[in-house]
Amino acid sequence: MPARTQAALQGVGAVETAPADPPPCHVAVIMDGNGRWAAARGLPRVAGHRAGAQAVRRIVETAIRHGVSWITLYAFSSENWRRPAGEVLDLTGLLRHYLRNEVSELKREGVRLRFIGDRDRFDADIVADLARAEADTAGNTRLNLTLALSYGGRAEIVAAARAAAAAVRAGTLDPDAIDEAGFASLLSTSSMPDPDLIIRTSGEQRLSNFLLWQSAYAELLFLDVLWPDFGPAHFAKAMAEYARRERRFGARPA
């Protein structure tokens, strides 16, 4: 981890610092470390996933206080289907519980819920719950919360390329007219701004197939804290670190 990032994050405790000004519009989080958190306590992995769900609730509340408009959470990757069947069953069971017990609170808090990824791989009742949650919160504007479920960045890009190829074959798209903006409109995130900041917990330093197109100029922050332990103070310190960054988007400083 860069020295300036380590310095910025030293002394993270229970006290939340003042929000950074201005905050990033869109924060994306790779929520990593649930299994290690559980193993360190001699608990089954599902206990770590349950603790991770509690961390989601804390961070949604904290993001609202900091004035962040968009939060995207990497909740279940396309590769997670390869995990042992019992763990996949636990994860989908937690998702089912979340959708049926937490959405009403999100609606009351003004949170709009969205989902990206291949939802058709889930059971039919979960697919219906996903659609219902999106419809029930569609009018909210306080925070846009997106959960990436059965999501993979490469698969998303391939799907967009197929859509573009189909439009060219149908004669509705001139291949010479394809540009970055047009291609981005074919992605599942077309209605969302690109992330300004991507946080990954647990100390791992890679994107793991998350928002590969959208992260081209995102600031990256890797934290040595397991996701279930991530709290308001860590979020506040991340906002402060973001405020110190100079975003150039490929240009020279003024």
Query: Is 144 an annotated catalytic residue?
Result: no
| Cβ atoms of residues 32 and 225 within 8 Å | no
Q: Which residue type is seen at 90? A: D
CA atoms within 13 A on the CB side of 61: 12
Residue in 32, 90, 129, 196 annotated catalytic: 32
| Cβ atoms of residues 171 and 114 within 8 Å | no
Rounded to whole angstroms, how far apart are CA atoms 92 and 95?
5
Residue in 80, 118, 194, 229 annotated catalytic: 80
Q: Report the alpha-carbon angle 41-208-195, nearest 5.
A: 105
Query: Is 118 an annotated catalytic residue?
Result: no
Q: Report residue 148 as tokens.
A: 């990436």
Positions marked catalytic: 32, 80
